[in-house]
Amino acid sequence: MIIKKVKLHHLNMTMKNSFVTSFGSIQEKPFLLVEVMDESGNTGWGESTAFHAPWYNEETFQTNLHIIKDFLIPLLLNRNINHPDEVSAIFSPIRKNNMAKAAIEGAVWDLYAKRNSLPLSQALGGTFKNIEVGVSIGLQKSSDELISVVKNYVQAGYKRIKVKIKPGSDISLISALREAFPELPLMADANSAYTLDDIEIFRQLDQYNLLMIEQPLGYDDIVDHSKLQREIKTPICLDESILSLEDVKKAIELGSAKVINIKISRVGGLTEAKKIHDYCLEKNIPVWCGGMLEAGIGRAHNIALASLPNFTFPGDTSSSSRYWEEDIITPEVVAKDGYITVPTGYGIGYEPNLESIKKFTENLWEFKA
């Protein structure tokens, strides 16, 4: 296929509720949709997950726009591509900027799957027909409030609950939750809010039978996590500090994690995500699909990826309605009894809803070969 045209749609969407983590609060979401077109007019869609501010990682909406517009699109236009796995090699002269790369690579994967009359999940080697999903809940005003929010999601059937923690809002919060839900598959995500000086907190958290604890230490650390893992029973799951298969190899070799959160955007695309999946399968390390508060296009990519066989923990991909009054795909994503059906339509398997996309569009750029 030859990429003849790329459109960048700048959308602004507002989440129903703000999402609060140890690094900050998010409610307004500016983001880019990348639409690629081949020589026959087929299209593929991708979504950038960078936030407005560099709080989760160093990328932002604006840096993604710059990198995609000024570096990645020129590398791709008029290129003959046989398989989307080639895209990461084409982008390799550009250092990092993984979210920018993933947005455009994802669009090429969707296009490739459509051209070959395949669901994206199948093009990636997915095997699950339904994926088990959980929900990630931000910091709330009080433990009581958190318990009532958790109750609603448990009643809605979500298979695993993840809650955010931060210094001052950890042991008491987890202990209250455990008391209210003794059997619940529960985990905590610190988003890098702690250091090795806090080791006593993690020793205490060990008694609450958490499925895992996500990214307790530095966002770019692998070494300290291995020291912490040696001191605690609860499995450590790495999110922020895994940017590539190389990072995964180091983390497993050092014993820094027993579980890996795979986010397509954080690792630079579906090809790298799949490599990480395959390597972890070989090493007996379970993985699950993380989330970045995506709109429908990004959510659809996550569902396709999570259909691969080593995605054995429920991921953070919840129903569209958990985030948005109105999503940008048809049908919207629905989790029923904690499962999402992997779509069987070609490509991402959901139709971009052009009307809602237009409604949320602030700006549009078009690049032609």
Task: Cite the active site residues.
Answer: 164, 263
Site string (223-252) toward Mg ion, x via CB under 5 A: ----------------x-------------
In the bound state with Mg ion, the residue whose beta carbon lies nearer, of 54 and 125, is 54
d(CA 66, CA 94): 12
Residue 189 binding Mg ion, by CB under 5 A: yes
Residue 48 binding ligand OSB, by CB under 6 A: no
d(CA 76, CA 369): 9
Stretch that binds ligand OSB, among 122-130, 203-211, 270-278, 287-295 (CB under 6 A): 287-295
- 123 membership: H or E segment, kind and range: helix 120-124
d(CA 186, CA 163): 8
Among residues 29, 44, 50, 56, the one that binds ligand OSB under rule CB under 6 A: 56
CB under 5 to 8 A by kind: which of Mg ion, ligand OSB, none does 292 bind? ligand OSB
Question: Applying CB under 5 A, what is the total number of residues that bind Mg ion?
Answer: 3
Residue 338 binding ligand OSB, by CB under 6 A: no
In the bound state with ligand OSB, the residue whose beta carbon lies nearer, of 189 and 221, is 189
- 260 membership: H or E segment, kind and range: strand 259-262
Token output for 300: 């659809």
Tell me the residue type at 13.
Answer: M
Residue with tokens 């869609």: 45
φ/ψ (deg, to 5) at 249:
-60, -45
Instruction: Extract the runs of DSSP E, i.e. beta strands, from 76-154.
Output: 130-132, 135-137
> Which residue number has the CB closest to ligand OSB?
291
SS (H, E, C) 52-79: CCCCCCCCCHHHHHHHHHHHHHHHHCCC
d(CA 13, CA 26): 11
Among residues 34, 177, 248, 292, the one that binds ligand OSB under rule CB under 6 A: 292
Site string (298-317) toward ligand OSB, x via CB under 6 A: ------------------x-
**Minimum distance of Mg ion from residue 288's CB (angstroms):** 11
Residue 239 binding ligand OSB, by CB under 6 A: yes
Tell me the residue type at 28.
Answer: E
Among residues 287, 293, 297, 306, the one that binds ligand OSB under rule CB under 6 A: 293
Among residues 47, 85, 189, 221, the one that binds ligand OSB under rule CB under 6 A: 189
Judged by CB under 6 A, the chain residues 126 through 155 that form the site for ligand OSB are: 136
d(CA 173, CA 31): 33
Token output for 261: 């959160």
Among residues 140, 191, 241, 320, the one that binds ligand OSB under rule CB under 6 A: 191
**Minimum distance of Mg ion from residue 245's CB (angstroms):** 19
d(CA 315, CA 16): 21
Binding residues for ligand OSB, per CB under 6 A?
56, 136, 189, 191, 239, 290-293, 316, 318
